[in-house]
Structure formats: C-alpha cells, structure tokens
C-alpha cells in the first residue's frame, strides 16, 4: 500500500509562495485562509546569518492526532496513500482537530467544516502531482510514495541530511525537509 509523503529542499526554496497561490487557485481556498504557507527562520548575527525557509502544510502524519480525536469520524485516513482527509458531510465543526494539530494546519471553512491540505488527492489519483509541487518554479518540492524504497523521495532522504517539523510531538509527520 502506498504511503504518500513529501520531501522539500530548503536549499532550493526561495519562499516565493507559488505553492500557496497555486493551492488557493486549485482548491478554491476561500479568501483569508490557506492550506499551505511559508515559514522563514533567521538565525545568527550580521553577516553570519542563516535563513531556513519551509513550505508548510498538513503533514499527513503516520500517527494523526486529528483523526484519533475526531468525534464523528470525519477526519480519516484515506486509502490508498494514507492521506489524512476530512469528510465535509460528517464534520460538525467542533474544532477538536484544530486543537490537536501541532502544526496549525487546519481551519474552519466558512461553510462550517474543518479544512486543510489534501495532498491534492483529486490530482494524485489521476496521476498528477499536487498543485504546489507541480508549480514550484525552483523544483524544491517532491511528492511520492515513502513505502517504495526506490522512490525519488527515498533516494533524496538517503542522500541528504533532513528534518521534520516538531518531531517531539510524536505524530510521525510525512513531510521531510532537506537541509
């Protein structure tokens, strides 16, 4: 069974927000909300500075607290791909998942349900890349199956130092950042 994930190369990323804009357009994300965003962390003092840019979104965790806390089963793990999705029809907008997510990845859509990144499953199931990955002008973003040992993702992870966001949260996130 596939286990979709992302590898994002922070060295290539220029923080241009193309991923954010492409997601908004592709998924009709309402004004004032976003399913992905850019974080910039600056360390050091002039001139010895280090900037780490991360394109962030739902981590589609292997141990997703948003799924275990959902009282209605709206938040669920979709197969194939183990993508964390929200069934809008079942969601009652109780915000338990918003509180449980260590990444702040979820928001309440104006229509009343919890919304977030879907890894563009509607595209992936057609053999296309998620919109953010497909648009990235610096080719910083990679998508694929983490369970496939020969996948591009695993080759990248084997060849470069990498990190995940908030490893201590115990969620086992599936978005990896190359240093």
**Helix, strand, coil abundance in the chain, percent, nearest 5:** 20, 30, 50
Cβ(161)–Cβ(178) below 8 Å: yes
Q: Which of 7, 66, 140, 175 binds another protein (CB under 8 A)?
A: 140
63: number of CA atoms within 13 Å, CB side? 7
Stretch that binds another protein, among 28-36, 63-71, 145-153, 167-175 (CB under 8 A): 28-36
Cα torsion through 143, 144, 150, 156, rounded to 10: 20
The answer to whether 149 contacts another protein (rule: CB under 8 A) is no
Q: Which of 136, 146, 153, 175 binds another protein (CB under 8 A)?
A: 136
Using CB under 8 A, which residues numbered 61 to 120 contact another protein? 87-89, 118
Contacts of 63 (CB under 8 A, 6+ apart): 170, 171, 172
CA dihedral over 55, 119, 135, 34, signed as positive or negative:
negative
Closest contact distance (angstroms) between CB of 138 and another protein is 3
Helix and strand numbers (H, E) in the chain are 6, 10
The answer to whether 135 contacts another protein (rule: CB under 8 A) is yes
Site size with another protein, rule: CB under 8 A: 43
Of residues 2 and 37, the one with the C-beta less far from another protein: 37
Closest contact distance (angstroms) between CB of 90 and another protein is 9
Of residues 34 and 146, the one with the C-beta less far from another protein: 34
Stretch that binds another protein, among 30-38, 100-108, 146-154, 162-170 (CB under 8 A): 30-38
């Amino acid at each position: 069974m596939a286990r979709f994930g992302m590898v994002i190369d922070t060295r290539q990323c220029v923080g241009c927000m193309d991923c954010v804009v492409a997601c908004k357009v592709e998924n009709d994300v309402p004004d004032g909300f976003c399913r992905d965003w850019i974080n910039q962390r600056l360390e050091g003092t002039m001139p010895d500075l280090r900037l780490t840019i991360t394109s962030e979104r739902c981590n589609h965790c292997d141990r997703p607290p948003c799924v275990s806390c959902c009282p209605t089963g709206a938040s669920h793990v979709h197969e194939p791909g183990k993508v964390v999705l929200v069934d809008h029809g079942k969601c009652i907008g109780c915000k338990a998942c918003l509180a449980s997510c260590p990444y702040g990845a979820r928001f309440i859509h104006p229509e009343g349900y919890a919304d977030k990144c879907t890894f563009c499953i509607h595209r992936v199931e057609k053999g296309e890349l998620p919109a953010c990955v497909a648009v990235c002008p610096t080719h910083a973003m990679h998508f694929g199956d983490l369970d496939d040992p020969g996948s591009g993702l695993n080759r990248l992870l084997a060849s470069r130092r990498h990190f995940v966001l908030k490893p201590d949260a115990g969620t086992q996130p599936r978005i990896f950042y190359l240093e």
